[in-house]
């Protein structure tokens, strides 16, 4: 954790992936992020996988370094508390509908310079989630083996909810941009970020939308090949599958040297009557090149082949299962991204990620644990709303507030 956002307080009323991610990134940079949930936990509180103690590992990691307030959000009194907390903080991240008690206008009545960032489904108000947005984007129908029949082949979904994480990151950026605008002008902002717009905007920004319209058709499936350049998975003599890619001439020449294929490629060029001296010709004639590279890979053990690739400074990596990756010294154990396991509510000790950004000369500090649900209810209601211990006790007694699920 860095302290670049020290002094900034944010109320987060959210569930699932995109909205908690936005708060997480802000918390990792030093902001005080107060997540407010219903007293029994939000929709994602019991998200799988649960430990034997019934703790969600997903919730635990998306809410690191935050404070937790648990109140009855189905009651008028509990909703009033959340609205007042958002107004006092002046900064709100949520994926609750705009037409709800936590709409921007309702909070801005008490705090005109409110900055709110609201994650939506689609721009027209329809609901969406990562996997349905991904279905609309076209990407699942670009994945799969090259030999599949385009007319009958099924879509291939990705396991990573990428649009959720991209939306969370964009919302953190949008929040800070709106806060900067307020600092300069005194004006608040209501920022709405539809998950679907992040997906379709990314399709456009990547050039893929223009490409399909220019083609007048869809791109073909390529299996594990890199589109428009040289790259694919290969298998070594001892059965290790790995990925290589060459997007520059330097990368290509080093790859050819590592595989010792200069003469073979020259022969292929003579046979084809072309020069394989750029991304496009190498992509167009990829099958012939793939055969050469796989033929050589099949004669070399992974230890020797990886040493050759490393000596040439090439871009390559072997495939791992996620369990292997989680235990890999280079990726995790010896990676300064990860710090010692904090006192996780689950009681399970495992590597915890710091901020993805590194600031030379500054110490990020050890990762902080996620809170227990409601762990900071008393602290926040006293400090933020000025409630007395007696008043908070009354709220707890009447079931409006919950102090902690620690026990």
Annotated catalytic residues are: 164
Nearest to 319 by CA among 233, 397, 248: 233
Cα–Cα dist 117/94, whole Å: 6
Q: Residue 230's CB: how many other CB atoms inside 10 A?
A: 25
> 163-192: string of b/e by CB count within 10 Å (b at 16+)?
bbbbbbbbbbebbbebbeebeeeeebbbbe
DSSP 50: B
Q: Supply φ then ψ for residue 202, to 5 degrees.
A: -70, -40
Cα–Cα dist 177/281, whole Å: 43
Q: Supply φ then ψ for residue 235, to 5 degrees.
A: -125, 130
CB 381 within 8 A of CB 395: yes
DSSP 376: T
Relative to beta strand 67-71, strand 401-402 is antiparallel
Output the six-digit token pair for 257.
Answer: 């040297």
Cα–Cα dist 131/340, whole Å: 33
294: Cβ–Cβ under 8 A, 6 or more apart, which residues?
Answer: 234, 235
Is the peptide bond between 354 and the residue preceding it cis, with omega within 30 degrees of 0? no
**Residue 22 DSSP SS3:** helix
**Residue 242 DSSP SS3:** strand
């Amino acid at each position: 954790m860095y302290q670049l956002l020290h002094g900034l307080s944010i109320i987060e009323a959210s569930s699932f992936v995109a909205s908690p991610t936005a708060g997480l990134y802000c918390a990792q940079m030093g902001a005080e992020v107060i997540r407010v949930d219903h007293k029994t936990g939000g929709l994602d509180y019991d998200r799988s996988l649960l430990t034997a103690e019934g703790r969600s590992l997903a919730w635990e990691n998306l809410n690191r370094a935050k404070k937790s307030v648990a109140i009855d959000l189905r009651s008028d009194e509990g909703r009033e508390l959340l609205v007042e907390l958002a107004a006092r903080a002046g900064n709100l991240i949520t994926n609750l509908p705009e037409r709800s008690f936590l709409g921007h206008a309702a909070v801005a009545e008490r705090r005109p310079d409110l900055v709110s960032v609201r994650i939506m489904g689609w721009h027209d108000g329809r609901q969406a989630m990562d996997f349905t947005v991904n279905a609309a984007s076209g990407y699942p129908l670009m994945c799969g083996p090259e030999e599949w029949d385009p007319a009958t082949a099924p879509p291939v979904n990705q396991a990573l909810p990428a649009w959720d994480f991209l939306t969370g990151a964009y919302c953190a950026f949008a929040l800070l941009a709106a806060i900067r605008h307020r600092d300069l002008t005194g004006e608040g902002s209501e920022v709405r970020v539809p998950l679907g717009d992040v997906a379709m905007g990314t399709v456009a920004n990547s050039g893929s939308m223009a490409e399909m319209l220019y083609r007048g058709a869809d791109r073909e499936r390529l299996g594990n090949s890199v589109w428009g350049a040289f790259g694919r998975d290969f298998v070594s003599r001892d059965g290790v599958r790995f990925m290589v890619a060459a997007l520059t001439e330097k990368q290509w020449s080093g790859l050819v040297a590592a595989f010792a294929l200069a003469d073979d490629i020259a022969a292929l060029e003579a046979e084809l009557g072309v020069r394989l001296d750029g991304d496009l010709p190498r992509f167009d004639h990829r099958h012939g090149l793939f055969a050469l590279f796989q033929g050589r890979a099949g004669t070399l053990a992974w230890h020797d082949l990886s040493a050759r690739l490393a000596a040439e400074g090439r871009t390559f990596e072997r495939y791992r299962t996620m369990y292997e990756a989680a235990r890999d010294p280079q990726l995790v154990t010896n990676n300064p991204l990860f710090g010692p396991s904090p006192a996780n509510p689950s009681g399970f000790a495992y590597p915890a990620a710091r901020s993805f950004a590194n600031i030379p000369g500054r110490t990020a500090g050890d990762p902080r644990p996620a809170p227990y649900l409601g762990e900071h209810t008393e602290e926040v209601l006293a400090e933020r709303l000025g409630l007395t211990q007696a008043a908070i006790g009354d709220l707890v007694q009447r079931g409006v507030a919950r102090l902690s699920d620690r026990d």
